[in-house]
Amino acid sequence: MRKKRLMAPGPTPVPEESLLAMARPAFHHRTSTFMEMFQEVNEGLKYAFQTSNPVLTFASSGTGGMEGAVVNTLCAGDTALVVRGGKFGERWAEICQSYGVKVVPIDVEWGRAVEPDQIAKELKKNAAIKAVFTTLCETSTAVLTDIEGVGKIMRGTDALLVVDAISGLCADDLRTDVWGVDIVVGASQKGLMTPPGLAFVSLSDRARSAMSKSTLPKYYFSFQKALKSLEKTDTAFTPAVPLVVALSKSLAMLKEETLEKVLARHGRLAEAARAGVKGMGLELFSKAPGNTVTALKVPDGVDGSELYKNIMESFGVTLAGGQGMLKGKILRIAHLGYCDDFDLLNALAAIEMALKKMGYKQIEVGAGVVAAERALAESEV
Ligand code: PMP
C-alpha cells in the first residue's frame, strides 16, 4: 500500500468538504439555489482577489482567463510589454502574438525577478505600450514578482497592469486595488483549493474602459458579455456547477481562516521548505522565492527526471520537475492551498529518501526534515 500525496503547483489537494459537496445531485443553474451560491462565491472571490471590483468566472483553465485578458483589452497592432522570465511569462507573449499584438519583451534570466525600474524604463522609451503583462508567481522558476513595486512605477501611466496570479493567488500577497492592478487572472486548482476547470478575472474601471475600445475577436471569452450576466448574478453560458459548488466550500474555508492567516501559513511553510532544502545540503534555484512553490537545484550527478519519478513511484509524492530549459535541472515543491506542516515534511522526507535510494552519497537522511521541523517549531502559529 502506498498513499498518494499531491505537492505539485497545481492541481493541488481539494479539502474533503469541497469534494463531498460536489457529490450532491445535479441541479440547474437558473435557480435560486445556484444564484444564491453564486452571489456568495462572487463576494468570496472579491475577498480572495483583494478587490471591490467584479471578478468574472469562466469554465476554462487559467490560460483561458489569460487569453481573455488580451483579447478584451487590446486591438491588433497594439503594443504590449511582457515580462518573460519563465514559461508563463512566455505564455503572455505567445497569446499576444497569436492575436497580432506587438510584444516588447523584458527578458529576465530564469530564476531572477524583474526590477520594476526595467518596466519604468521601457514605458518611458515606448509611449505606444498599452498594457504590461506579468506574473505574480512565475511557477516555472519559483520567482515572485514585486507587483507592488510595478504598480508604483506604473501609477500615472496610461498602460494597464495585467497580472497572472494563477498560481500565486492566496499564497503570495496581491493587493489588487491598493497596488493598482487592473486585471488579475486566477484559476481554481491552486490556492483556491478547488479542482481544475475555473478561470477568474478581476477588472478595474480602467480595464473596463479599455474593454469598450478593444476590437480583437472574442465570443465565449467576451468580458462585456460575462460582466452583463454577472450584474444579474448570472452567467452568459452554462457554468461548471459542481466546480462552483466546490469553490463555495473552499472560499468559506478561506474566509473562516482569514486571508491574512492563509498568507501567513503559506509564508511559514515556504520558509520551512527553504530551510529544509538547505538543511539537505542542496541549493535553492530562485533568487526571489515566494510563498507558493520552492525550487531546488538537482545536485550534480543526479538525473532530475529520474529523481522526480522515483519520488512519485517509490514514495507516492507528486512534486513538479523543471519545465522548458529547466527540465531535469530543478525540482519544485508546492506548499500551496490545502497544505500543512506535515505535508511539507512528507515531501522533504521523500526527496531525501529518493536521493539516498538513487545512490547520492552526500545526502544525510533526515537533515532536511530536521531543519524544516525546527523552522516550523520556531515560527509556530
Ligand atoms: N500561469 C501560471 C503562473 C501557472 O502556474 C499556470 C499553471 N501551472 C498557468 C498560468 C496555466 O494555467 P492553466 O494550466 O490552468 O491554464
**Looking at the predicted structure, is the pLDDT value of residue 138 above 80?**
yes
Q: Could you tell me the distance, in angstroms and rounded to a whole number, from the CA of residue 131 to the centre of ligand 1?
A: 20
Ligand 1 site, residue 135, Cβ cutoff 6 A: yes
What pLDDT score was predicted for residue 2? 87
For the stretch 10-61, pLDDT in tens is 999 999 999 999 999 999 999 999 999 999 999 999 999 999 999 999 999 9
Kindly tell me the sign of the dihedral angle through the C-alpha atoms of 289, 177, 92, 125. Answer: negative
Average pLDDT for 199-222? 98
Dihedral angle over CA of 272, 278, 282, 285, nearest 10? 60
Every domain of the chain and the residues it spans: 16-256, 258-378
What pLDDT score was predicted for residue 142? 98
Query: 16-256, which class in CATH?
Result: alpha beta
**Looking at the predicted structure, is the pLDDT value of residue 4 above 90?**
yes
Query: 258-378, which class in CATH?
Result: alpha beta
Average pLDDT for 314-339? 97
Distances (CA, A) of 345 to 99, 270, 297, 365, 373: 45, 12, 18, 13, 7
Quote the cell numbers at residue 236: 452568459
What pLDDT score was predicted for residue 380? 75
Give me the chain's average pLDDT, please: 98
Q: Could you tell me the distance, in angstroms and rounded to a whole number, from the CA of residue 90 to the centre of ligand 1?
A: 12
Q: Could you tell me the distance, in angstroms and rounded to a whole number, from the CA of residue 292 to the centre of ligand 1?
A: 13
What pLDDT score was predicted for residue 196? 98
Q: Best substitution site from 57, 61, 166, 286 to test ligand 1's pocket, by max atoms within 8 Å of Cβ? A: 166
Q: Best substitution site from 58, 66, 88, 183 to test ligand 1's pocket, by max atoms within 8 Å of Cβ? A: 88
Ligand 1 site, residue 164, Cβ cutoff 6 A: yes
pTM across the whole model: 0.98
What pLDDT score was predicted for residue 381? 73
SS (H, E, C) 345-367: HHHHHHHHHHHHHCCCCCCCCCH
What pLDDT score was predicted for residue 1? 82
Instruction: Name the residue among 260, 99, 52, 82 with its Cα closest to residue 163.
Output: 82
Q: Could you tell me the distance, in angstroms and rounded to a whole number, from the CA of residue 359 to the centre of ligand 1?
A: 34
Q: Could you tell me the distance, in angstroms and rounded to a whole number, from the CA of residue 88 to the centre of ligand 1?
A: 7
What pLDDT score was predicted for residue 280? 98
Average pLDDT for 116-121? 98
